[in-house]
Structures are given as structure tokens and as C-alpha cells.
């Protein structure tokens, strides 16, 4: 699970930092030390969201230590973390999406079957991210058994091992079909996971870093893979989709999480209004 891996990495980073000060166990950690660590992270120019996540990892860890009797008191209880900046997610414009998805913008591959396979894969990856609003981890973990291209349905396992089905449009289904029929075999190796939909250059399951490299190659401006998920949700709401439908498609357990996109959508509506109304 991505969250568990992130927390494990956060705790290892804290342990390494604390060990430089001579600490060798959780029982010696005091609250003031944790506050110094968060301040240290801020001086290292970590993003506020990253520091907040590291604080959450520390709270979870020391709470666990207290329950297991490893420490007498929890030094991280109520540990404050910097608030998120509240910055709204970036939404790609239709022109930016055309650059990413339009075949006319892709590089020439000549007669190289490997390069052609990568082009087919990259198009399928980007089409699916935008068509279904998938998290990157969901896309990377997608199994061939989760594709029903005839019915235009993708089944993914999201956070909390919750499974959901998402409809996709014809262009996304066509891109996936082309990759599976003409591209995947070019990248497959004996060690390749047979059920994985997407593979990287060496035949392993596609990973989040591979997806980021795809966007780096295709996008003319720096673009995070999650921007496609943001764009998916916002464009649906702009088109009149019900908020609860978008919640189901995104796999959010809480409607409050989905509501951030209504603010994005309102900003876009205000922008369009100011740019088009004669008296605005």
C-alpha cells in the first residue's frame, strides 16, 4: 500500500535524523525533539503537505508504541503539523490535453518495434488516466482481468482495497486495445507479470516513476500525473455531472474529499464569465 510505504520511509528518515543525536530507541524521544524535527524539515524546504504527512506518520508510530507498552507516554499525541496551503489542484486545459493525447503530437518511431510499443503504451496510459480518473497506483496495479473493453468498463482496486468499476470512452478503449494487441508483447519478458496491463522498458510492471517519465516526455510543461485525475473530475462537474457520481467514480469514501473539485469548477466558471461577458 502506498500510504504504508510512505509512512515507513518517513519513520526511517526520522530514525536516521534522531540517531545522529545519539538516540537509539522510541523511549528516549521527547515532544520537543519531534517539534525540532518538523522545524528542521521546514528549513529543508519540504512542502507543507510532506511535513504534514511525516507528522502523521510520527503520531501513528508513537501511538502504536504506547499501545504496545514500549513507551510510558506518547510524545507525539496532538503533535501539530503545518496546515496545507489550500492550493487548488491544477486542471489541464483542453489544449494541454490535446498535446498529451493527440497522435499528431507524438514522436516518429520509424521501424523500431520497441519504440512503437512504447508509444502505444504511453498513449494508453494517458488516455486511461484521463478517461477514468485513476490514481497512479491504481493504474500501475491494473490487471488484465480488470479490463472489459467490449463493455467499456475498467475494474480497479483503490484505497482500502475497495474495488470499483469505471466506464471509459471509445478512444481510451481503442488505445488500450492497440497496446494489448500490438505493443505489450514487444516489452514482455520471461519474468513479466502475466496479469499486468502495463509494463515498463525492461518488462516489469509499470511503476509511478515510469508514469511520471511518460508525462515528462509528452507534456510541454511540468505536469504531475495526478493533474489528469483532477482534470477528469473537474471536467465532469463542468459538464453537469452530479457530485455523488463523481465521488463514486473517484473512489472517495467521503463526499467532502470530492467537494474540492466544486471550488475548482467555480473558479473556471468565474474565469470564463470574466473573459466572455461584455460587461465583466
* Polymer length of the chain: 280
Per-residue pLDDT of 257-280, as tens digits, reads 888 888 777 777 777 778 777 776
The answer to the question of residue 13 being in a domain is yes
Instruction: Write out the catalytic residue numbers.
Output: 135, 159, 226, 229, 252, 261
Dmax of the chain from CA atoms? 69
Q: Do residues 126 and 48 share a domain?
A: no
Task: Look at residue 79 and tell me if it is in a domain.
Answer: no
Q: Give the other-Cβ count within 10 Å of 137's Cβ.
A: 19
Tell me which residue range forms the domain holding 185: 94-271
Number of domains in the chain: 2
Element (H, E) at 185: helix 184-187
Cell numbers describing residue 55: 507528522
In tens, the pLDDT along 44-87 reads 878 888 888 899 999 999 999 999 999 999 999 988 765 555 56
Amino acid at each position: 500500500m502506498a500510504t504504508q510505504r510512505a509512512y515507513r520511509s518517513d519513520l526511517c528518515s526520522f530514525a536516521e535524523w534522531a540517531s545522529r543525536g545519539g538516540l537509539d530507541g522510541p523511549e528516549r524521544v521527547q515532544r520537543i525533539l519531534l517539534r525540532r524535527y518538523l522545524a528542521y524539515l521546514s528549513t529543508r524546504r519540504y512542502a507543507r503537505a510532506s511535513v504534514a504527512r511525516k507528522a502523521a506518520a510520527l503520531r501513528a508510530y508513537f501511538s502504536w508504541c504506547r499501545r504496545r507498552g514500549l513507551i510510558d507516554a506518547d510524545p507525539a499525541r496532538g503533535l501539530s503539523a503545518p496546515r496545507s496551503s489550500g492550493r487548488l489542484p491544477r486542471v489541464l486545459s483542453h489544449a494541454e490535453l490535446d498535446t498529451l493525447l493527440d497522435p499528431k503530437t507524438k514522436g516518429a518511431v520509424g521501424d523500431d518495434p520497441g519504440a512503437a510499443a512504447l508509444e502505444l503504451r504511453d498513449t494508453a496510459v494517458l488516455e486511461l488516466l484521463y478517461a477514468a480518473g485513476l490514481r497512479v497506483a491504481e493504474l500501475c496495479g491494473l490487471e488484465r482481468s480488470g479490463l472489459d473493453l467490449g463493455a467499456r468498463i475498467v475494474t480497479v482496486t483503490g484505497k482500502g482495497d475497495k474495488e470499483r468499476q469505471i466506464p471509459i470512452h471509445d478512444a481510451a478503449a481503442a488505445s488500450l486495445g492497440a497496446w494489448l494487441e500490438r505493443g505489450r508483447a514487444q516489452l514482455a519478458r520471461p519474468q513479466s507479470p502475466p496479469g499486468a496491463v502495463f509494463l515498463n522498458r525492461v518488462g516489469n510492471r509499470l511503476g509511478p516513476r515510469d508514469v511520471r517519465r511518460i508525462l515528462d516526455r509528452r507534456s510541454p510543461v511540468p505536469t504531475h500525473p495526478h493533474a489528469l485525475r483532477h482534470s477528469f473530475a473537474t471536467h465532469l462537474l463542468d459538464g453537469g455531472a452530479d457530485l455523488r457520481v463523481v465521488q463514486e467514480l473517484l473512489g472517495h469514501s467521503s463526499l467532502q474529499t470530492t467537494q474540492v473539485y466544486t471550488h475548482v469548477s467555480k473558479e473556471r466558471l468565474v474565469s470564463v464569465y470574466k473573459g466572455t461577458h461584455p460587461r465583466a
